[in-house]
Structure 1
Amino acid sequence: MVSATKAEAAHVPSGLEVVITGMGKVASASAVSRVLAADKTIRQVVNIGSCGALRDDHTGVYEVGTVINHDFSSAAIRALGHRVEDELHVGESDIVCATGDLFVTDPVVRAELARRAHLVDMEAFAVAWASREAGVPARIVKHVSDNADESALDWAKVVDRSARDLGAWLAANV
């Protein structure tokens, strides 16, 4: 199990090892890469955590099928003639999670992201990338903690609900 914070992993069932990465793409990619390089017996990475809903009808726990890197200047880098991978497929689900190093609270940003994704977080793409680079499949499981609006700033008050629901999902699915 991989989680950005201890709070999000507070209700992981006993017997499951948890790696706390820290928040954001750099911290999570670095931590996952370190663990996978040190332990070649790992057969799967499961990233659990909270996320924002980019669409009003999304609540609860979702297993993500595609992750996108939303705060990366892909178009500009492609215009310079370089190949960019800013979308990774990690499962069969139709759910898309946009990853970026910011709490989405701006309605304009939310609306733009909602055209491409259902959920938004700060680690999923990086975890999927590091796992893929190590040749280990990743599962991304997220719980909606907010609506990617000003309620995202209340994350500390609601994260335990996410942790409980993620713990229940793990108990039933892992």
Structure 2
Amino acid sequence: MTEPLPFTHPMRVAELAGRKPTRFRIAPGAKDRAAIAAALGVTELDQLRFEGDLTPLGRQDWRLTARLSARVVQPCIVTLAPVTTEIAETVTRRYLADLPEPEGEEIEIPEDDSIEALPATIDLGAVLTEALALSLPLYPRAEGAEMGSASFAEPGAEPLGEEVTRPFAGLADLMKKRDPKG
């Protein structure tokens, strides 16, 4: 069972103008931004805007082109200090009415990852949330934060250092033993 989306903004395809673009501008309120932030695991979502258009392509297909802009606050992976990131992304999706269903146990993922099957309702809130999730920094780092090194060993044992764990660390010693001249 899938979890409910934190924010939805459905657009029924049957109600869209068939010959001209349908423009949209979505700026979720504080409550919706808080729900999206909680779903994505970010501390704050100060600003969020998603604007663009749905344009008909031929008789049945549609193209979504939009601009996502946001300001998110995430904890630093090193210090847990708040890290603010400005996000500005272009989002493109193509919805095809006659997209063939994949067959078989193993399927090949197409190169164009913007193509989707045309649903009866295009949920702009779901597209917004997905695009934001993909745009978030995976490892936010506060300015000046550095990962230190850690050494672990059993009591009384010497921790393994970087020199010992390198794959060719002992190769020079082996070569000296093998070469009679030293």
- TM-score under structure 2 normalisation? 0.25
By percentage of residues, which structure has more strand?
Answer: 2
Asked which structure has the greater CA Rg, the reply is 2
By percentage of residues, which structure has more helix?
Answer: 1
- Report which structure shows greater RCO (CA 8 Å, sep ≥6): 1
